[in-house]
Amino acid sequence: MGGNDLFNECKSVKRILVPAKDAFDKYHEIYEATIQITQLYEIDLIILAIGPTATCLAFDLYNAGKRALDLGNLDIEYEWMNLGVENKVVVSGKYTHEVKNGTENIERIFDPKYENQIVYRVE
């Protein structure tokens, strides 16, 4: 998602945005876009964070000769660590399905660096 420094030290970050819900319904498009984008930008490591869809996708990408990690809730866990909270809380601008009301009324945060990393959107 954006709005933190989690990937600031990365040489390059390219993002493919997928639906927050029911991503598996778009599995084929997500897979094909990932293959194409990794070839186009010569990406050597893919980080997945798209719920259960990521598990299947990581396996299929591996079979296609790609390195993929399903890091699930890494971003939101990083946010909670930075906040110093002991219990999961709603984080402004973040989709947080583990917290009551964490998927409702999500405030859109404009982060130019994040927006510039987006190379494809699956709608």
pTM of the model as a whole = 0.88
C-alpha distances in angstroms, 121 versus 15, 17, 118? Answer: 9, 5, 8
Share of the chain above pLDDT 90, in %: 77
Asked if 122 contacts 17 with a C-beta cutoff of 8 angstroms, the reply is yes
Packing angle of the helix pair 52-63, 27-40 (nearest 10 deg): 50
Note the pLDDT of residue 97: 86
Going from N- to C-terminal start, the domains of the chain cover 15-121
Name 65's Cβ contacts closer than 8 Å, sequence gap at least 6.
none
pLDDT tens, 55-74? 999 999 999 999 999 999 99
What is the average per-residue pLDDT within 72-79?
93
Each residue of 26-38: pLDDT tens digit? Answer: 999 999 999 999 9
